[in-house]
Amino acid sequence: MNKYGTILIVDDNPSILTAMRYLMDGTFERVLTLDNPDDTLKTMAQEEIDIVLLDMNFTLGVNNGQEGLFWLRTIRKQHPQTPVVLLTAYADVALAVRGLKNGAADFITKPWDNNELVHKLKDVLDMQNEIVTLDEVEKEHIRRTLDRCHGNLTQAAELLGITRQTLYNKMKRL
């Protein structure tokens, strides 16, 4: 069975981190854990992280999810390609919607079902691998058009509905 890459789990509860480490060990090649979100960006700069599982609350007595939303936005700014899944014991629909609007890939509530959690994380990573960027689509379309026109830039540009100069500029970027 092929394992997924590296997961970073950020939660202030050491028991949660221990449980997650055991649970994720069978699914991921590497399981990294942090009990302080302040270390997240430093860790992500030093390690190749494939997915982040992020708690929503880190301060004792605070359960509004604002800390998690802050860290979600911060992670997404620095590492926009890394999916972040939010984890909280204080779930409500409004918080889940805010998290998704801020770029979360999914939202999981504590206590979690082990199989469901692993399945959701795999789904997020599998979907990430299926998405093709617009640049990749454009590059492939230009390549196929040029092949069809046997390398004739004028004819290819005409088929693409752009000028020859625009096609030439796009080819330089690709």
* Per-residue model confidence as pLDDT tens for the chain (174 residues): 578 999 999 999 999 999 999 999 999 999 999 999 999 999 999 999 999 999 988 877 767 778 889 999 999 999 999 999 998 876 666 777 788 888 899 988 888 999 999 999 999 998 877 666 777 788 888 888 888 889 899 999 998 899 999 998 888 876
pTM: 0.72
CA dist 146 and 133 (Å) reads: 20
> Taking a C-beta distance cutoff of 8 angstroms, is the pair 69, 51 a contact?
no
Residue 86: how many CB atoms within 10 A of its CB?
27
Enclosing H/E stretch for 129: helix 114-130
